[in-house]
Amino acid sequence: MTLLACLPVDWASGLGGFIGRIAGPRLGLSRRALRNLRQAMPENSEAENRRILRGMWDNLCRTMAEYPHLARIVASASGRVEIVNGQALTGLATTAQPGILFGGHLGNWEIGSSTVHLLMGASVISVYRATNNPWVDGLMRRFHSRRRAVPKGSEGGRELVRQLRQGGSVALLVDQKQNDGIAVPFFRRDAMTAPAIARLGYRFQCPLIPVRFERLKGARFRCTVMSPIEMVETGDAARDLLATMTLVNAMLEGWIRARPEQWLWIHSRWPA
């Protein structure tokens, strides 16, 4: 990270991408990624799946190499992040009304999360999952120390409820597996999905706002704030929860299909 911090942004990002394209496809995790690709998009040729695999490693290793440069990349003067409909978030931040922002591990999601925090300031908190190595976790958290963030788990959950009750907003990445979640269709297969955002949305009657992160080219990005998901309300709580989370997963799936090389196919998203 010290070496990468000494390099210009584009050099660091390019070096990460080069290492990812060369080393990534040789790693054992690539077998899982290819299995996920074959099952999620059976219409793809093997050549297309391997192209996506190389692109995934390129994007993932660029994301890692860009860590030391987060602050300068998201700075408005850098011109590296195109923000579409950002006024929806700045407006929400000034209304003292709660909102739930959700996205996925697409493009450089750390750039996306930092952009959301830059737009909304103290009115938003996000959730992070600590890495297994505490030394690495401390290093990663130092790079985004300006964010208000709570750890994933019961303590963080209580903080999210407190934030929404006080009229603030929360931001979460919701595309990973949660074993104690609910089964929701994702790429035509049931995937265990955390229903927290829908439950909180119903409880506090606040909008679920999709925020899409994309890598455009090299170390340049787009953050798009989309129209809120229309939550299903029929009076049947369990059915409404499933229907709303199905809409959330469908939104994520659409983003992934548009840029499949920018998603984390190495994640165990579906049952083996």
Q: Tens of pLDDT along 166-198?
A: 999 999 999 988 888 999 999 999 999 999 999
Q: What is the mean pLDDT of the chain?
A: 92
For residue 9, tell me if it sits in a domain.
Answer: no
Question: Is 120 domain-assigned?
Answer: yes
Nearest to 239 by CA among 182, 190, 194: 182
Q: Containing domain of residue 115, as a range?
A: 73-259
Give the burial class of 173: count Cβ atoms within 10 A of its Cβ; 0-12 exposed, 13-18 middle, 19 or more buried: buried
**Predicted local confidence at residue 192, as pLDDT:** 94
Average pLDDT over residues 230-254: 95
Contacts 24+ apart (CB under 8 A), 137-140: 139/1, 140/67
Give the distance from CA 165 to its chain's centroid.
24
Question: Per-residue confidence at 242, pLDDT binned at 50, 70, 90?
Answer: very high
Answer for the pair 119, 86: CB distance below 8 angstroms, yes or no: yes
User: Is residue 181 situated within a structural domain?
Assistant: yes
Q: Whole-model pTM?
A: 0.92
The total of structural domains in the chain comes to: 1
271 in any annotated domain: no
Residue 145 lies in a domain: yes
Is 145:71 a contact under the CB 8 Å cutoff? no
Q: Is the pLDDT of residue 145 over 70?
A: no
In a domain, 47, yes or no: no
Q: Is 2 part of any domain?
A: no
